[in-house]
Amino acid sequence: MTALHLLRVARVKPDISPVGHGDGHAAGGAGAIEGQNFQRVHEGFGHWHRRDNAGKLVLMDIVPIAPPEFDVDVALAYATPANITGQPVYRNARCWLRRTAAQHLQRAIALAAPLGLRLRIFDALRPTEAQWMLWNARPDPEFLADPRRGSPHSRGVAVDLTLLDRAGCELDMGTPFDAFTPRSHHGDISVSVEAQQNRLLLLGLMTAAGWDFYRNEWWHYQLFDPRRFPLVADADLPERMM
């Protein structure tokens, strides 16, 4: 079975959709928290609440992704100038996911470990303000979600990642992270056979762990139906990233 056939039979839920069908406030309240100020209350590991405008405490199930709880290598690309903006987007290089996504990440970690592989995370939860910075630098809907609709990253349920071998070296995926080119698409056969195999290995690990993929980016994985989760602004986080 070819790589292209595997992708045709897999379920695809893209990171983006056409502009004009924005999140608004109808998609499960998505977007309702963006830009508002909340009081953050810590109640144990990963349990944070925000106080909405009516004074009601709402659970923010945000989990920090870092060793030793998560055996991953965190290398947030947007905490460095080596990204499409040419400057650091994140002032505080903290990696967060919603608890549900973090549980799926643990499954992927467990599946990769017997193969002598680890995950390197380039990005995870991306505050709405960061999505605007990326969009303003390069408003390319083939690779970036329009921030007016919201990215799964800004909902805390997406990760950008690659695989590391036993020596801690990245497997060849054919293109670097955030290479906005058709060569980054799943099923692209212009990259080497080794890169195609590595992409399919990552695809297999992540889909077996319950993640959906985005066909234009070999590095991007997200939970199914991400719009059921509201957007997260920088002020909503336990510790600000920006």
pLDDT in tens, 157-189: 999 999 999 999 999 999 999 999 999 999 999
- Does a structural domain hold residue 33? no
Diameter of the chain by CA atoms?
A: 56
Per-residue pLDDT, averaged over 123-146, amounts to 96
Note whether 145 and 220 are within 8 A (CB). Answer: no
Q: Rounded to whole angstroms, how far apart are CA atoms 222 and 225?
A: 9
- Does a structural domain hold residue 213? yes
Query: Is 217 known to be catalytic?
Result: yes
Q: Rounded to whole angstroms, how far apart are CA atoms 118 and 112?
A: 6
Collapsing DSSP to helix, strand or coil, 13 comes out as coil
| Catalytic position from the list 142, 170, 217, 239 | 217
- Does a structural domain hold residue 48? no
Q: What is the pLDDT of residue 229?
A: 95
pTM above 0.85, yes or no: no
Q: What is the CATH number of the domain that holds 215?
A: 3.30.1380.10
- Does a structural domain hold residue 58? no
Asked, as a colleague might, if the bond just before 182 is cis with ω within 30 of 0, I would say no
Work out how many domains the chain is built from and give that number. 1
- Does a structural domain hold residue 26? no
- Does a structural domain hold residue 128? yes
- Structural domain boundaries enclosing 128: 69-232
- Does a structural domain hold residue 1? no
Q: Rounded to whole angstroms, how far apart are CA atoms 62 and 3?
A: 35
Q: What is the pLDDT of residue 44?
A: 39
